[in-house]
Structure 1
Amino acid sequence: MKISTKGRYGLTIMIDLAKKHGNGPTSLKSIAKDNDLSEHYLEQLASPLRNAGLIKSIRGAYGGYVLAKDPKEIKAGDIIRVLEGPITPVEGIENEEPAKQALWIRIRDAVKDVLDTTTLEDLINYEDEGPKEAYMFYI
């Protein structure tokens, strides 16, 4: 399974909004500038995220976007499914022989597990603290 720029940039939007959660709306222009991305492209991604109930738009001079829920309630899988569709590594696995079919199902389930157990809060904490398993000790 390959995540396209839609999924990657959608996660970027959501992580930025999670970092600023509770501090009022954030414009897509500022997210685009901070991450060196196209504001027009981010606007295209914001619409399905809003329609899915993951973000809210605030109109006005100081408007922008805010998360519709707390960062610990939004999973990476929610975002990826909205922007990329169903999580499946291979199409048409029902036509595969049983051994290969079982492999594709295990891969799909492993990816789903990671995406569905990783929240926006986890992602912003990861950026702040770094990966926990990266700490290595030599004896």
Structure 2
Amino acid sequence: MKLTMKGDYGLRAMLDMAAYYGQGPIESADIARRQYIPEQYLDQILMALRKEGLVKSVRGPKGGHMLAKPPSQISMAQVMQALEGYVPPMECLPNPDFCKLSPGCALRTVWQQIDEMTQHILTSTTIEELAQKHQTGVLETMYYI
């Protein structure tokens, strides 16, 4: 699986909204600033996440974006699927006819195992877990004098 900037930015935006979950909408400009995401690109990402029911958008002076459900109910796989669809590690996985060696290829079996493990990790890892790890990492890197 190749992770594009779109997927990375989407996950970062979801982590940002998870940190403020339950506190109301967050302006996209604030998410963009904190996560170093170009704001126009972030708006496109948030629109795709909204279409998949992962993000809610609120219009008006106190508007912005927020998670549509608790971060514990959103997996990395859902975010990646919403933004990138399924991206196999090798073209031969979804399309065995792509390669003449596919029927007996030992490498194809390995690529399949890698794909299954990757999908398992993405499916079983929630945005809440990532947000907790992120918070722990931030606290561990703080330096005190």
**TM-score normalised by the chain length of structure 1:** 0.89
Which one-letter code corresponds to 1:84 in the other structure?
Answer: E
- CA distance in structure 2 between the aligned counterparts of 1:120 and 1:100, rounded to whole angstroms: 32
Question: Is residue 52 from structure 1 mapped to residue 59 from structure 2 by the alignment?
Answer: no
Which one-letter code corresponds to 1:81 in the other structure?
Answer: Q
Alignment of 1:56-135 (within 5 A): 56-93=56-93, 94=96, 95=99, 96=102, 97-130=104-137
Between 63-72 and 92-101, the greater mean CA deviation after superposition: 92-101
Partner of 2:143: none
**TM-score normalised by the chain length of structure 2:** 0.85
- 1:17–1:26 Cα contact (<8 Å) kept: yes
Structure 2, unmatched stretches of 5+, are 138-145
Listed one character per residue, the Cα deviations across residues 44-79 of structure 1 (whole Å, up to 9, x for unaligned) are 111110000000100110100111110000000100
- 2:54–2:67 Cα contact (<8 Å) kept: yes
Q: What percent identity do the matched residue pairs reach?
A: 37
Listed one character per residue, the Cα deviations across residues 4-50 of structure 1 (whole Å, up to 9, x for unaligned) are 00000000110111110000000110011112221001001111100
Which one-letter code corresponds to 1:38 in the other structure?
Answer: P
Structure 1, unmatched stretches of 5+, are 131-139
- CA distance in structure 2 between the aligned counterparts of 1:31 and 1:114, rounded to whole angstroms: 26
Alignment of 1:33-44 (within 5 A): 33-44=33-44
Partner of 2:142: none
Count of residues in correspondence between the two structures:
130
**Cα RMSD, aligned residues only:** 1.1
- 1:87–1:112 Cα contact (<8 Å) kept: no
